[in-house]
Chains A and B, each alone.
Chain A
Amino acid sequence: MATLQEKIAKICPAATVAEVDGAPMITVDEAHWHDLAKALRDDEDLSMDYLVTIVGYDHVDTMGCVYYLMSTRHNTNLGVTVAATGDRTQPMLHSVTDLWNIAGLYEREVFDFFGIIFINNPDMRRLFLSIDWKGYPLRKDYDASPNINPVPVDNERQSDFTQSWVEGPDGKVEEKQLEVFGPDDFVVNIGPQHPATHGVLRFRTAVDGETIKKIDVYMGYIHRGIEKLCETQGYPQTLHYLDRMDYFSALNYHHGLCILYERAAGIEISRRAQVIRVMMDELSRIASHCLFMGTFCMDLGATSMLFYTLRVREQILDILERTCGARMTFNYDCVGGVMQDLDANFQHDVKELLKVLPANIKEYNKVFVGNVIAKNRMEGVGVLSREDAISYGVTGPNGRASGWACDIRKWRPYSIYPELQFDEITRTEGDSMARFKVRLAEIEQSARILEQLVDNIPEGEYLVKVPKVLKLPVGQWFQLVEGCRGVFGMHLESDGGTKPARLKFATPSLPAAGVVDHLTRGEKIADLITIGGSMDYIVPDMDR
C-alpha cells in the first residue's frame, strides 16, 4: 500500500490513494486521468492490463465513474474514481478506449445510463436504449413516467451514423458525426429473431461477398433495467433479479451477491451453508456447460447432441429441484446461508450423477470432438490471442481457451474454494474447438469438486439469524465471483439505508459479445454462427 502510494505520487502528484474494501482506491481529477491510466497500464510494477468494469455514478452534485483494474501478472487490483467535468447537461470524461479495447463498450453503457460523454471515444451511441430515448435512466432525477417514453408501436429509427466528441490539438472538444457503415457497404441484418443468435441479439454485418468486413453488435432487445430496479428494492429483494440475468449461473451469481452483502453487514455463515453453496455452484456449472454443448452442436447442425447433453442436465435439475424447489430461477442462496436444508436424498442423488458422468463425457468426445466435420468447422476458426482476450476482458472458459488463467476460484478464491483440489483448465489454441474442449474438461473438474464434498457435508445450521430488514453501513464494496461464463463483478454503494444506492453488475457475456466483431473480421459469414455459438453469451446477461 505504502509503495503504491509513493508510486502513484511519482506518476501523478494530483492523485490521492485511500483504502476502500481492502483494495487501493485512487481518486484523480479528470485532467490527469488519461495520463494516469496509461501509466497504470504500462508501468512494469503495476501493469494493470485488465479493465474489469466501468461503474458510472450519480451523487447529484457530482457525476463520474469508478474504474476497476486488475493486473494479470501481479495479481493485484485497484480502483480509480474520476469525477466528470461540466454540469449535468453535458458531463465529460476522457475515454480510455485506446488503452483497453473493451472500454469502448463499457463507456457506451455509461453514456446510455448517465449521459456522461467520453471524449475521443469513436462511437458514442446509446447501447441498450433507442436513439430517441429521452433521459438517462440511472440518473437520480430520471423521470420514469411512461408518457415520456411510451411503448413504441413503430419500427425503431435506425442510423448508419454515430457521434463522437473529439479533442483537437488546442484542447477544444468538438462534436463530430462518423459513419458506422459507409454508402458502399453491403449490410446483412442477422437477428434479433434468429435461431442461431442464442436469444434476441442483432448483428448488423457488412459483408464483401462471403467475407465479413465489420459487425455492429446491436443490443438492448432484452434490457430490463435491473440496476435501476435494484435501487428501489431492499437488499434481500435484489437477489432474485440475479436468477434472471444469466439463468444458468443463477446459483453462482446469488452466491456472489450474498458474499458481498454478508461482507458488508459483517455476517459469518456456517460451514454447512458454504459447502452447500459450493456444491450447488458446481452442479449448475455442469448443467450450464451441458446445455452449451447441446445448443452449440445444434447450431453446427448436429441436432442429436442436444438430446445427449440434456439427459445429464435434466438429472441435475432434478437434484436441484428436490432441494431448491424449482428447475430454474432457484432463489436458493440468501443472506446468512441458504433458504432451506438439503433434501434427504441429496447425497445419494449426487453420487448417482457422478457415476454416470464419466460415461457421458466419453460419449460426447466420441460423438462430437473427434468428428471430422466438427473438426473442420471449429479448428482454427475465430482465434483469440491471449493479449486480445485480456484487452477485451473475455473471461471464463473463453479466456482460458486463449491461455489466460482467469478463473476467479483460483485467482481470487472465495468461500471454501482454497481448500478444494481442482485444476484450472487452460488451452493455448484460442479457437472455437479450444473453447468447446475447455468446457468439456471443466465438467470433469466440477465433478471432482463434488466428489470431495459429497461425503463431507458438515452438520450445523444452514441459515444463521439475520435481521429481516437488512441495513448496511455507508461504504463501497466490490466482489468478484466465477459464474459459468466467466468473471462476474458486483459493485455496491450504500448510503446507510435498506436499499442499495447503486448496484452495478459486470457480467461476462457483454465482453463475450463485444469481441465478436474483432473475431469475425475477415472470416466467412458461415463461421459467424460457429464463433458466436462458441462464445456462449447469454443475451439477458449482457443486457440486464
Chain B
Amino acid sequence: MEVTAQGVPYEAFKDNEYIESLVKELQENGTNVVVGSLDKLINWGRSNSLWPLTFATSCCGIEFVSLGAARYDMARFGWEVARSSPRQADFIMVAGTIVHRMAPVLRRLYDQMAEPKYVIATGACAVSGGPFRNSYHVVQGVDQIIPVDVYLPGCPPRPEAMIYAIMQLSRKVKVERFFGGVNRQQKQQEFLREHPVEGVNDKAQFNSETVAEAEKQA
C-alpha cells in the first residue's frame, strides 16, 4: 500500500520500509469492511487537519514562526491552526531544549492534550540534548519524558524539514486504526492511578482497600 500525504509522491519519502512494516503489522488480522472504510474516511480528515500546539522554548520555535508565515505557509497543508491550549491540539512540536525545570511542565502539557495525540521531537536538543547534552540541567532527549512519534534532527531544522516531519506524521495518522485503536478513552481511574498528584489521595476515591488504609493512617 502506498501511503502518501499532501499529494507528495510516494517515492519522495525516504523511509517507506517503516511505514510498510507498520501497515503490515496493523493489517495482520484483517480489517472489517465497514469499520475499515470508516477508518479510512476519518483518517483522511484527521491527517489533513493536524493542529499543532504553540510550544517553543528556543531557536527551533523561530523557524516554526517562519513556517507559519507567507513563504513556507503551512496553511497549504491544513496545519496553520496553531492552538495555545493543549486541549485543542492534535500534536506537539517540542521545539527547543527541554531542561529540568521545564520537564514536568512539558509532561503536564502532554497529559492535558486529548487523545489521539502525537509528538514531534524537533531539533537536536529535543532529540538527544544536542549541543547541551553534557549540561547539568538538560534533559537528554524528550523521549525520556513523553513518547515521540517523529524525530526531526537539525539545529535548528529548516522549515522545509519541519514540513517533511509533519508529513511523516500525517502518513502515520493515515494508516492507524482509529476505531478500537488510537481513539481509546482512557479511564479516569486508570489515568489518576498512573499520575499521582502529591498531597492528593486519588486512589482512595476508587479503591475500598486504600480507603480503609487511609482511614487507618489518619
Binding site for B on A (CB under 8 A): 128-130, 137, 142, 144, 149, 151-156, 192-195, 199-200, 220-226, 228-229, 232, 240-241, 243-244, 247-248, 291, 295, 306-307, 310-311, 314, 327-329, 539-540
Contact = CB atoms under 8 A, between A and B. Distances in A.
A149 B69 contact: no
A152 B104 CA distance: 7
Interface in B106-153: 107-109, 131-132, 134-139, 144-145
A327 B59 CA distance: 11
Contact of A225 (B55, B96, B103, B132): B132
A343 B94 CA distance: 34
Contact of A155 (B66, B144, B198): B198
A192 B135 contact: no
B101 A156 contact: yes
B76 to A, nearest CB: 14
The majority secondary structure among interface residues of chain A is loop
A310 B96 contact: no
B56 interface: yes
Given A193-B109, A200-B102, A240 B131 contact: yes
15 contacts: A129-B100, A129-B137, A144-B136, A149-B100, A199-B61, A221-B99, A226-B135, A228-B136, A232-B134, A243-B59, A291-B65, A310-B69, A311-B70, A314-B69, A328-B156
Interface string B181-193: 0000000000000
Contact of B62 (A149, A193, A328): A328
Nearest to B197: A155
B104 A225 contact: no
Contacts of B86: 193
Interface in B13-63: 54-59, 61-63
B212 interface: no
A200 to B, nearest CB: 5
Contact of A223 (B66, B69, B99): B99
B104 A224 contact: no
Contacts of A155: 104, 108, 197-198
A517 to B, nearest CB: 20
B155 interface: yes
A188 B62 CA distance: 27
A137 B61 contact: no
B97 interface: yes
Given A195-B84, A228-B135, A154 B104 contact: yes
Contacts of B66: 310, 314, 327
Contacts of B70: 307, 310-311
A305 B107 CA distance: 33
Nearest to A298: B65
Contacts of B155: 329
A106 B70 CA distance: 41
A139 to B, nearest CB: 12
A192 B102 contact: yes
Given A224-B137, A307-B70, A314-B66, A129 B132 contact: no
B58 A199 contact: yes
A346 B118 CA distance: 42
B136 A199 contact: no
Q: 6 nearest interchain CB pairs?
A: A310-B69, A225-B135, A540-B58, A247-B59, A144-B136, A224-B132
Interface in B168-218: 197-198
Nearest to B107: A153
B146 to A, nearest CB: 11
Among A142, A243, A314, which residue has the most Cβ atoms of chain B within 10 A? A314
Contact of B63 (A144, A195, A327): A327
Given A156-B101, A200-B57, A291-B62, A229 B135 contact: yes
B102 A225 contact: no
Nearest to B59: A247
A141 B212 CA distance: 49
B100 A151 contact: yes
A398 to B, nearest CB: 20
